[in-house]
């Protein structure tokens, strides 16, 4: 995960937290998080890069709609990232 951009990492997290996410559902989730519209020209190339890296699988729902699913490797990367974060963050100090 060290070679992902922050946006790609956010895409990966969004996909991991959704049931059968499609491109527009991922876009909507990120629009809410970033408090603004994420353009297709930003989203889809980043999703394709996650696919190329083996972190996400891309499927076809129909000719216009793709589905995305996190791979086992993608899940391992998220777990490793969380373990790394936990080394530096004491949750009791952060959450009041």
Q: What pLDDT sits at residue 95?
A: 60
Domain total of the chain: 1
Q: Which domain holds residue 57?
A: 6-94
Q: What is the CATH number of the domain that holds 30?
A: 1.10.10.10
| DSSP state letters, the chain | -TTS-HHHHHHHHHHHTSSS-BHHHHHHHHHHHHTSPPPHHHHHHHHHHHHHTTSEEEEEEETTEEEEEE-HHHHHHHHHHHHHHHHH--HHHH--
Tens-place pLDDT, residues 36-73:
899 999 999 999 999 999 999 999 888 888 999 999 99
Mean pLDDT for the chain? Answer: 91
pTM for the model stands at 0.86
Residue 17 lies in a domain: yes
Rounded to whole angstroms, how far apart are CA atoms 57 and 47?
9
Residue 80 lies in a domain: yes
Residue 39 lies in a domain: yes
Residue 1 lies in a domain: no
């Amino acid at each position: 995960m060290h070679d992902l951009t922050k946006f790609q990492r956010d895409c990966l997290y969004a996909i991991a937290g959704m049931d059968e996410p499609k491109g527009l559902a991922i876009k909507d989730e990120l629009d809410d998080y970033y408090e603004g519209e994420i353009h297709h020209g930003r989203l889809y190339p980043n999703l394709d890069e996650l696919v190329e890296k083996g972190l996400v699988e891309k499927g076809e729902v129909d000719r216009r709609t793709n589905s995305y699913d996190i791979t086992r490797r993608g899940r391992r990367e998220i777990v490793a990232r969380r373990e790394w974060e936990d080394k530096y963050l004491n949750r009791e100090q952060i959450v009041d």
